[in-house]
Structure 1
Amino acid sequence: MSTQTFYEKNLFSQISNLIAGTLYNVQVTPVKCNRSLNPQSFSFYTIPSAIRDLTVVEVTTSSLSLNWSKPEGNCDSYSVYLTSLTPSFTDKKTIECSTNACSVTNLKSGVQYNITITAKVNDTIEGVPFSASHYTKPSKISSITPENNSSKVIKASWTKPDGYQSGFEYCLKEAGNISCQDCNIQNCDGSSNCTISRNCSITTDLSMEESGKSAGTMYCLCVTPLTNDNSLAGETTVTSTYTEPNTVNLSLTPDSKSIFSNWTIAENYQSFQVSIRESESNNILQSDKTENLYYTFQGLHAAVNYTVTVTTVNGDLKSDVVTVSIFTKPTKPESCSAKGGQAGINVTYVPPIDSGNSNINYSVKYISSFWKEENVTYTNKTNINIPNLQNGTTYRIEVRVVAGSLMSDPCTAEAQTEPEKMTLTLIMMCSSIEPLYCGKITTKDDMLKKLTDLTNPTLNGVYWGLKWVNRN
């Protein structure tokens, strides 16, 4: 404790070299003729000095943690005043702190605050103010909504978070086969002031769009709110988004009970949705998902028209559907028979087992080698009557299963129409140097055989016959 004593002829005095923030007692004694009269006493505090070295040690979306050096002299406590400097965000906070470290809570996110701190003594006397400004962190975006992306364009939007943002930093990173955890768009080095990373963009909009991307690819999309002229970043929101995959070039190779499908595709893909249905009924028979560039549909019926669809899948996005129809290979009827009648033939046949109960088509062809005549009838029935044929003619019948442009091997049968018989008399003269040769039975039989062999190639395929007629 120090004491100052001095004599003054005036009715006032300037006291200097005092300690800031200190309580002083003053006694004024009148002196007359070297005699001290009744003294007058009072006390006062000097004003505290300004604090020093204000530091913001931690920043959140709703608080600022402050630290500073004590002022020179003395002080009992500190008053901390915060006032919003960001337009449209009116906010004021006042707190009392007993030490030189203090946290201010319930602030608005992303807002710039003017911070004023004064040292206090005697709970009422505030010292020289010290002022600085700082931002709270901007609030995190709650979610990102991918839009209708195309094969080359990524679009997304988000809802504005609470508080103030000077902009938004977004970054796209091709994910490959990894899940999206981050986009490596911040470089904070342990501090709140983050530098803007490369390959990212800043926008003041609540949406983004980038073109020139690879089709069928998963991207990590990260969006970070910014404040303080885009120099202070909030927490990053990460989501995965996809470009729409390309359609495939589809090829089909049928067998009687299966269809092998294979395809090619440009650029990237995740998987394929494949399905098959009967074209006539439109009922889906099989549906599956595969990551291969091929698929075999088994357990099908022969000679049936099937429609195969392949859709490229990439996350929640799907390409346009590629559709190709094809018939399975037909197999020939199990059996067939033909029965001739008057100028017509009735043909009956049994469907192939491989076709099951499917509705299939047939071609029924008749051939006459004698008349050099043939004709084909198409039908989906299992029996047919062929009218207007030549009487007494042998016809070859060929029944095939028809499937588009494909035909099975034939099931064959023969039948002869009923003849209208006519008699033609041939008279032959026999002469021989051998006595009684022409009268022998063996001579007649031998002649009849030779005549039959001679005639057969000409009349093959129609009804005819030769026999001797004895004429007396």
Structure 2
Amino acid sequence: MKLLSSVSLWTLAVFSAVLEISQAECDISGCEGNDTETSTTTSIVNCTISNGSSASENGCFNCCKEATTKPPAVMNLTATNITASSISLEWSKPEGNISLYRVRWNDGGFNETTGASLTITGLTPGVNISISVSAVAGDTLSEGETATLSVYTKPEVVRNITVTQITTSSVSLKWTKPEGNSSFYRVQWTDGNGNGSDHVTQTNITMTNLTAGVQYEITVTAVTDDGRAEGQSTTVSQYTQPAGVRNLTVAGITTSSISLKWTQPEGSSLFYRIQRTDTTNNWGVSVTETDVNVPELTAGVLYSFTLIAVAGDHKTESEVSEIVHYTSKRMNHTSDNVLVVCLVPQPFFQHYKLRGEQSHHQKKADKTKKHI
């Protein structure tokens, strides 16, 4: 009987010790209030658990705690559309149980979305935006590693492009700085045959070595620091000044007309505008040839002629070339000595010579007939 009691007491002692060890491994007081303990690992000993899933099996975190693993990082984070004030993002959903995604960007920008895409709005034009996206598990607490992306918003369009000066070989422009940020401006031009480009940091440029009288299409674009993000281009069309005509001369004169001729200027021009002035009136005409006859003039009068080359826009003009000349004087038939030449069909002509004398009552005429 004593032996039985002794065994019972020994058994009771062993049982009590095991109970104390079990209670030490699994503290019941820690489970009160349904508290949750979060794990940042991807595997737990004695537990079967997947990424983003929960586990509350015996032996995991003091037997009564719930554990959630971190989700993997999102993949293929891409900016699909960029404007001056917005960036649209897309990414691939990672494996595991994902409840939402957290998106953060410059200056405390933050948003959450359940889908694998988001458009960030209200951004400043032409600035670098650093973006991070992370997946969040079903407990809304366990957050995976972030995927990051750095991208510039597009600069705004340049404004108020104005042509300030043109010559036969250059065009000068100025414009207003766009809103937001930009690092420099890319200026490109073409006449349809050749191209040119330049980069400037100021809001003006003079393009040189151009062809006279030619139309150029000029575009100005704001560019960011990385040299890749460009704003919308602004285009202006402008002709260079035609070169002045060369070698303007009088080709012939009569009592009622003056003929002019000249050499075509270098470069290009659409037509020529000739104007004449005298003391009574003005006259003008446009021609495409390099000569003109100016009719209906008065004999013995001094006339001034101006000539300009005009570009294809009908308004851009060259410098003025000018020439001054008299028309021929009309013959005076009442003078004492008059020479009259009459032309007759070949093979012969008759030459008459009239000589005036002092007497008003008698005149003597010599007639000579010559054969050719």
Of 258, 261, 272, which residue of structure 1 is paired with 2:185?
272
Q: Which residue does 1:169 correspond to in 2?
A: 102
1:387 deviates by: 5.0
Corresponding residue number in structure 1 for 2:309 = 401
- Secondary structure, counterpart of 1:49 in structure 2: helix
After superposition, the C-alpha distances for 1:62-93 in whole angstroms (9 at most, x for unaligned) are x2356xxxxxxxxxxxxx1325xxxxxxxxxx
When residues 205 and 349 of structure 1 are mapped into structure 2, their CA distance, relative to the original with a 3 A threshold, is same
Equivalent residue runs for 1:56-455 within 5 Å:
59-60=40-41, 63-64=42-43, 80-83=46-49, 108-117=50-59, 130-173=63-106, 199-249=109-159, 250-256=161-167, 257-264=169-176, 265-278=178-191, 282-314=192-224, 316-341=228-253, 344-352=257-265, 356-369=266-279, 372-381=280-289, 383-386=290-293, 388-390=295-297, 392=299, 394-403=302-311, 404-415=314-325, 421=331, 423-424=333-334
Larger Rg: 1
CA distance, structure 2, for counterparts of residue 333 and residue 340 of structure 1: 19
Task: Provide Cα deviations, 1:33-74, integer angstroms capped at 9, x if missing partner.
Answer: xxxxxxxxxxxxx998363579999734xx2356xxxxxxxx
Distance 2:4 2:57 in 1: 45
Q: CA deviation at 1:418?
A: 6.1
Q: Is the 8 A contact 2:124 2:153 kept in 1?
A: yes
Q: Tell whether the 8 Å contact from 1:59 to 1:65 is kept in structure 2 after alignment.
A: no
Contact preservation (8 Å) 1:339, 1:415: no
Q: What residue identity is the alignment partner of 2:43? A: L
Shift in Å, 1:140: 0.8
Q: How does 1:20-31 map to 2 (within 5 A)?
A: none
Q: Summarize the Cα distance change of 1:376–1:21 in structure 2 as closer, same or farther, 3 Å threshold.
A: farther
Residue 442 of structure 1: aligned partner = none
The Cα of 1:132 is off from its aligned counterpart by 2.9
Distance in 1 between residues matched to 2:155 and 2:250, nearest whole Å: 57
8 Å CA contact 2:273–2:309 kept in 1: the answer is yes
Selected match of 1:6 from 3, 7, 31: 3
Q: How many residues align?
A: 320
Aligned-residue offset at 1:400: 1.7
Q: 1:207–1:284: structure 2 CA closer, same or farther, 3 Å change rule?
A: farther
CA gap 1:199/1:321 in 2 versus in 1, 3 angstroms:
closer
Structure 1 unaligned segments of length 5 or more: list them: 23-45, 67-79, 84-107, 119-128, 175-197, 427-468
Structure 1 277/346 Cα, relative in aligned 2: closer, same or farther at 3 Å? Answer: farther
Shift of 1:154: 3.0
| C-alpha distance in 1 between matches for 2:309 and 2:172 | 21
TM-score scaled by structure 2?
Answer: 0.72
For 1:400, what is the secondary structure of its paired residue? Answer: strand
Note closer, same or farther for the CA distance 1:48–1:304 as it changes in structure 2 (3 Å cut). same
Say whether the 8 Å CA contact 1:362–1:380 is kept in structure 2: yes
Tell me how far apart the structure 2 counterparts of residues 149 and 226 of structure 1 sit (CA, whole Å). Answer: 26
SS across alignment from 1:167: strand
Rounded Cα–Cα distance in structure 2 between residues aligned with 1:312 and 1:148? 18
Cα distance in 2 for partners of 1:326, 1:13 equals 112
Q: Is the 8 A contact 2:244 2:309 kept in 1?
A: yes
Three-state SS of the structure 1 residue aligned to 2:3 is coil
Compared with structure 1, are the counterparts of its residues 20 and 470 closer, same or farther at alpha carbon in structure 2 (3 Å cutoff)? farther
Distance 2:126 2:287 in 1: 47
- Cα deviation, residue 300, structure 1: 1.3
- 2:44 & 2:287 partners in 1: Cα distance? 90
Question: Are the counterparts in 2 of residues 335 and 411 from structure 1 also a CA contact under 8 Å?
Answer: no
SS of alignment partner, residue 306 of structure 1: strand
